């Protein structure tokens, strides 16, 4: 049983074996002390993926969404936000600016917007691939045939968070969506040869430490290449607008545990973490992260892509200056190359 073991011992087991029973994970999520966990995760991060921090240029190209996720400001039922769609030309021009700033991965993210045809999306992916970058998609659930066409067009990676691996909680928070389909989509993407990213929200109403521990084991079983986790931030105009929201420390512990369980993953210090805490990037990078995703979009679109409130309005070039200053402060360096998962 894990119960008799100290935090140091449990962190030590994880550091050596990259595995731990659910009770041990729960203990590390809830123990009063977490510094041994942070230190172990930082050592494993340094040993497995090194000092490099990969910068991925995020383009939020549409805030239209057919989904109704209870926590998200983009949900279809939120009539308070003005909707926008970038044209393929705008998306490609924005990507070109990101490439000019030195970024080697472009992440295309949107609500679940069926407006763009498979052909249009494939053309955008091909245009980006001609810029010699890795392309990551984050556009939600689509049929296998669409995922396959986008892969053929050159897409390299796909982000699809499970949000919570607890089926009952998932079902409560995602009306009209199916937990089984979410899981199936992840396995389909993997089978098609994408590097896959998943992750969860931390601090959802009704979420327990046992559920978070199960999320970590779900990621490990899936053998995800990337894990993104951030605090749930209550968004106006959603059914959870009045909920408490997630805290920073549990997110950091989840990140450390993910790094220890899956040493070679790519893991961002998320924007949500940096919104919740001014030092979110520094903290995330010290608790196992090795990726940051600066926003490349125009000011007006950034404001309208209101999944949660509080996003900062900093132009792309200035964001990069700030991020590089953080890396210098932490003795880290900007990643060279595309920053795919280390084998």
Q: Which does 108 bind (CB under 5 to 8 A by kind): ligand SAM, ligand SF4, none?
A: none
Q: How far is the CB of 33 from ligand SF4 (least distance, A)?
A: 34
Radius of gyration of the chain (CA): 19
Instruction: Give how far the C-alpha of residue 319 lies from the chain's centroid of Cα atoms, to the nearest Å.
Output: 18
Give the Cα separation of 125 and 123 in Å (integer): 5
Task: Return the number of the residue (210 or 275) whose C-beta is nearest ligand SF4.
Answer: 275
Q: How far is the CB of 141 from ligand SAM (least distance, A)?
A: 8
Q: How far is the CB of 174 from ligand SF4 (least distance, A)?
A: 7
Give the Cα separation of 314 and 337 in Å (integer): 25
Q: Which does 160 bind (CB under 5 to 8 A by kind): ligand SAM, ligand SF4, none?
A: ligand SAM
- For 231-261, the three-class secondary structure string (H helix, E strand, C coil) is ECCCCCCCCCCCCCCCCHHHHHHHHHHHHHH
Helix pair 7-17, 248-261: axis angle to 10 deg: 40
Q: How far is the CB of 76 from ligand SF4 (least distance, A)?
A: 7
Interacting residues toward ligand SF4 by CB under 6 A: 65, 67, 69, 72, 74-75, 111-112, 140, 307
Alpha helices in 110-242 (DSSP H): 118-129, 144-152, 167-173, 179-191, 209-222
Give the Cα separation of 235 and 339 in Å (integer): 32
Q: How far is the CB of 180 from ligand SF4 (least distance, A)?
A: 16
Q: Which does 75 bind (CB under 5 to 8 A by kind): ligand SAM, ligand SF4, none?
A: ligand SF4
Task: Return the number of the residue (38 or 75) whose C-beta is nearest ligand SF4.
Answer: 75
Task: Return the number of the residue (50 or 309) whose C-beta is nearest ligand SAM.
Answer: 309
Give the Cα separation of 319 and 324 in Å (integer): 9
Task: Return the number of the residue (92 or 251) whose C-beta is nearest ligand SAM.
Answer: 251
Residue of minimal CB distance from ligand SAM?
A: 72
Q: How far is the CB of 161 from ligand SF4 (least distance, A)?
A: 8
* Residue 230: strand pairing partners: 201
Closest CA to 158 of 180, 132, 182: 182
Interacting residues toward ligand SAM by CB under 6 A: 71-72, 74, 109, 111-112, 138, 140, 160-161, 163, 201, 230, 232-233, 235, 272, 307-308
DSSP 273-328: HHHH-TTHHHHHHHTT--EE--B-S-HHHHHH--SSS------HHHHHHHHHHHHH
Q: Which does 195 bind (CB under 5 to 8 A by kind): ligand SAM, ligand SF4, none?
A: none
Task: Return the number of the residue (89 or 175) whose C-beta is nearest ligand SF4.
Answer: 175
Give the Cα separation of 234 and 228 in Å (integer): 18
Task: Return the number of the residue (306 or 327) whose C-beta is nearest ligand SF4.
Answer: 306
Q: How far is the CB of 187 from ligand SAM (least distance, A)?
A: 16
């Amino acid at each position: 049983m894990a119960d008799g073991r100290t935090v140091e011992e449990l962190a030590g087991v994880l550091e050596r074996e990259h595995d731990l029973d659910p009770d041990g994970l729960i203990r590390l999520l809830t123990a009063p002390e977490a510094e041994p966990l942070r230190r172990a995760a930082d050592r494993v991060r340094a040993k497995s993926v090194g000092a490099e921090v990969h910068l991925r240029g995020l383009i939020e190209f549409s805030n239209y969404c057919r989904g109704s996720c209870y926590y998200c400001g983009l949900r279809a039922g939120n009539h308070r936000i003005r909707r926008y769609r970038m044209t393929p030309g705008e998306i490609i021009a924005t990507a070109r600016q990101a490439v000019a700033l030195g970024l080697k991965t472009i992440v295309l993210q949107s609500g679940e917007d069926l407006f763009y045809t498979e052909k249009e999306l494939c053309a955008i992916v091909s245009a980006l691939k001609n810029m010699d970058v890795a392309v990551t998609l984050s556009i939600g659930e689509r049929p296998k045939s669409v995922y396959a066409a986008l892969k053929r067009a050159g897409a390299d990676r796909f982000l699809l968070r499970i949000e919570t691996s607890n089926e009952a909680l998932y079902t409560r928070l995602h009306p009209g969506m199916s937990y089984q389909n979410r899981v199936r989509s992840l396995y389909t993407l993997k089978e098609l040869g994408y590097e896959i990213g998943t992750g969860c929200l931390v601090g959802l109403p009704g979420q327990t430490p046992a559920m978070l521990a199960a999320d970590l084991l779900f990621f490990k079983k899936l053998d995800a290449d990337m894990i993104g986790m951030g605090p749930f931030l209550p968004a106006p105009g959603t059914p959870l607008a009045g909920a408490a929201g997630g805290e920073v420390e549990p997110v950091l512990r989840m990140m450390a545990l993910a790094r220890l369980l899956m040493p070679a993953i790519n893991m961002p210090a998320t924007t949500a973490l940096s919104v919740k805490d001014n030092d979110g990037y520094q903290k995330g990078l010290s608790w196992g992260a090795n990726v940051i995703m600066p926003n490349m979009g125009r000011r007006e679109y950034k404001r309208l892509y209101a999944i949660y409130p509080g996003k900062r309005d900093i132009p792309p070039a200035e964001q990069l200056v700030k991020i590089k200053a953080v890396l210098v402060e932490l003795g880290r360096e900007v990643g060279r190359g595309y920053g795919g998962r280390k084998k």
